[in-house]
Amino acid sequence: MTKEDLKIVFFGTPEFAVESLDTLVKNGFNVAAVVTMPDKIAGRGHKLITSAVKDYAVSHGLPLLQPEKLKSEEFVNRLREIDAQLFIVIAFRMLPEVVWTMPPLGTFNLHASLLPRYRGAAPINRAIMNGDTVTGVTTFMLKHEIDTGDILAQERVEILPDEDFGSLYDRLMHVGARLTLDTVRHIIAGDLKPVAQDALTGGKTPTPAPKIFAEDCEIDWTRPAADIHNQVRGLSPVPAARAELRSAHAKPEQMKIYRTRLSEICPGGTPGTAEVIGKKRLVVACGDGNGLELLELQPSGKKRMETGAWLAGARLVDPYFVTKDGN
């Protein structure tokens, strides 16, 4: 089989998936159809929101499917009519068995972790939040249980010391596109040797990576400074770590925290106590007795900015950040 003979149906939604789709198209593969989420109405203006994958498919003239229900008879029959030999899934919904078992060469997924580590919806965030120094991307065959199929290929990627989610997302997107291309080429060549994930766990339970919830974004200043620093990195730029700042004679202010660094200075007092240093720096006491300097933030209703720029117009008296117990 040649790449011209191979029909592919590509399933994906966000920008992360677009890079792989674009790589396949630019390398001459036959993407017979693209499947993405239905358009949504969002925002105060009730604007129509389309997925990044749809935008790419439309601009490149690729056949597009946007099913409301993946088990619908109409959608399943349309896939059968396309008669593709391979399905590729990247950052999409969980497929029903009737879909992922359809192509004769199977269905593979690109996942942004070194499986079996970090199974779930937020592997990039969780790796940084947990302080990992290495992550990667994996292609694997779909099966019933999410992120558990046999591994086809992997590539390791170092997590840089102060790297945040946005930066790592971009790097893994490009590495993942290359791995997707390599995986398809090896499928055509017939020389892949899938490896069961159970063989790689070493008897350990795989690490879950559930999607990010609101409570994951709330900073608990009683935790060690390094842990909070990793939390901020893992949530920046979206959805961003959050904390409530209080100051004498001022209303409480909600803050998004985008960038921090461990500080040699630690304010006296309980965790959450903040100290302004030289009118340009803001350091917060953490639960392990160390300080964390806030470098970039966004007060409620304002734009994202350097902390020094915000301090120039702020009037803080005995400032402190509220801990999870409300104090």
Q: pLDDT digits over 228-285, tens only?
A: 999 999 999 999 999 999 998 778 999 999 999 999 999 988 999 999 998 899 999 9
User: HSE on the CB side for 40, CA within 13 Å?
Assistant: 8
Average pLDDT over residues 67-93: 97
DSSP element (H, E) containing 171: helix 165-189
What does CATH list as the number for 214-321?
3.10.25.10
Is 174 in contact with 19 (CB distance < 8 Å)?
Answer: yes
- Per the listing, tokens 């970090």 go with 118
Residue pLDDT, tens place only, 199-214: 887 767 888 999 999 9
pLDDT at 327: 58
117-144 pLDDT tens trace: 999 999 999 999 999 999 999 999 999 8
pLDDT attached to residue 192: 94
User: Which residue type does 219 have?
Assistant: I
Distance CA(202)–CA(245), nearest Å, equals 45
Phi and psi, residue 82, nearest 5°: -65, -35
Is the separation of the CB atoms in 88 and 25 below 8 Å?
Answer: no
* pLDDT at residue 273, rounded to an integer: 96
In this model, does residue 44 exceed pLDDT 90? Answer: no
Tell me the fold of 7-200: Rossmann fold (3.40.50)
275 beta partners:
283
Residue 194, preceding peptide bond in cis (omega within 30° of 0) = no
Average pLDDT over residues 66-84: 97
Within 10 Å of residue 159's Cβ, how many Cβ atoms?
20
- On whether the CB atoms of residues 159 and 189 are closer than 8 A, the answer is no
Enter the DSSP assignment of 218: B
226 three-class SS: helix
Residue 121 tokens read as 């919806």
> Is 25 a residue whose pLDDT tops 70?
yes
Q: How far is CA 34 from CA 44, 147, 159, 287, in A?
A: 30, 22, 32, 49
Query: How far, in Å, CA of 106 to CA of 108, rounded?
Result: 7
Average pLDDT of the residues in 161-168: 97
pLDDT of residue 326: 58
In the chain, domain spans: 7-200, 214-321
